[in-house]
Amino acid sequence: MQILVERFLDTDFLHDDLKASNCNPAVPASYAPSAFNVYYSRLVGKDEKRQMEDKEGYSLAWSYGSGSGGSTIGLNPSTRKVFKATKDEFVGSIADKALTLMEELMQLDPQYDEQLGENHLNVLSVKVYWGEKRVNEHNDIDMSKYSGPKKNNSQKPGTPVLIYTVGDPKKLIFHRRQLVPAAKHSGFDFQPPLGIPKGQPNPEDIVVGQFHKDAFIMVFADEDHEGGYYWVHSSNTDDLIAPGDSYYRGFTISFMGRSCIHQIWINDKDNTVFNEMSESQKKKAKIFETKQAREIIGSEQHKCVWAAIKHNARTMLCDWYPRKKFIWDSKDWNDKIKKTYP
């Protein structure tokens, strides 16, 4: 895992594409309020391929975040990348070993071994947190309001997720939702428990601290709607950075091993995802073509901010893993440039 972190920060961590999480205006992923996302996927085996012709120059891979959750993740559909977790890739070869290790760890416990069943962990999704980055309340498995999982989920319903965290502490928070009488129709809606003032912490929330080298298994039962309630979860590093520390200090990286059923085609040369957009998707994609988005990506300001992010991420790595030393790359740094996005 240490080698995986080192290689990740050296290479694929630097893919800072435009992002429009929750349909907000498109900004570089380093500026967006949501956590930085990177994905490594195993290739789909010959016996598992869907019935369609192979695309020349592309490989078929498993995918997370491309089904029901694709719009909320907000990656640019025309430039979105997924990296292969295969033995002939610099980082992917270690990602492949990490997935095997995570699966073997799950199988040590009969409960998680039974939940995983004959499925395998085939996607390693990575989230990076710094400053005020967060993941808002969500479920990994999208459910219909009163019944079971929806058909367009990327992750296979019923399978557990293993989260391995390195770096500074972060919080994983579970928020309770329950059926309450609806205000606008005669049925019921899932809402937070009644009587909690807006903006106030919910005493029924469960906060899990995740620290360096912690492994945490999240189970499907938390998201099941049976019994009239279920849990959503979120992540952040609020109040975990000492006052006065730099905005860019406080790095946390979470590696999540998942079992996915959605399949995508990945370009063998540049790892971009093959995308056949509908007309409605093309309209939504225009959010990535605004003047503000075009001007900020690759600008002097963007390069300067990214220089600080790279330096602090690697400084964090040296704090945790002193085996490797990084040299400050100051060519893009300018302390006179405003570092916040307009």
What's the pLDDT at 107?
Answer: 95
Nearest one of 275, 222, 236 to 55, comparing CA atoms: 275
Q: Is residue 253 within 8 Å of 210, Cβ to Cβ?
A: no
pLDDT at 244 over 80: no
What's the pLDDT at 68?
Answer: 41
Residue 124 dihedral angles phi and psi, to the nearest 5°: -110, 105
Torsion angle of C-alpha atoms 67, 69, 74, 77, degrees rounded to 10: 0
What's the pLDDT at 341?
Answer: 65
Type of residue found at 120: H
The number of angstroms, rounded, from the C-alpha of 63 to the middle of its chain's C-alpha atoms is 12
pLDDT at 121 over 70: yes
What's the pLDDT at 240?
Answer: 78
- What is residue 21's three-state secondary structure? helix
Query: What is the percentage of the chain residues whose pLDDT exceeds 70?
Result: 88
For residue 48, give both structure tokens: 């598992």
What's the pLDDT at 298?
Answer: 87
Domain borders along the chain are 2-320
pLDDT at 196 over 80: no
Query: What is the percentage of the chain residues whose pLDDT exceeds 90?
Result: 37
Q: Is residue 85 within 8 Å of 41, Cβ to Cβ?
A: yes
Helix (H) or strand (E) holding 173: strand 170-181
More confident call, 154 vs 180 = 154
For residue 259, give both structure tokens: 């079992």
pLDDT at 187 over 80: no
Nearest one of 224, 57, 252, 247 to 147, comparing CA atoms: 224
The pLDDT tens digits of the residues spanning 20-56 come to 877 778 888 888 888 999 999 999 987 776 656 678 8
How would you classify the pairing of strands 36-41 and 27-28? unpaired
Distance between CA 147 and CA 253 in Å, rounded? 34
Average pLDDT score over residue span 252-261: 95
Q: Considering only 40-49, 65-74, 152-161, 269-278, which range has the smallest mean pLDDT? A: 65-74
Q: What band does 268 get if pLDDT is binned at 50, 70 and 90? A: very high
DSSP 211: -
What's the pLDDT at 108?
Answer: 96
Nearest one of 240, 116, 96 to 168, comparing CA atoms: 240
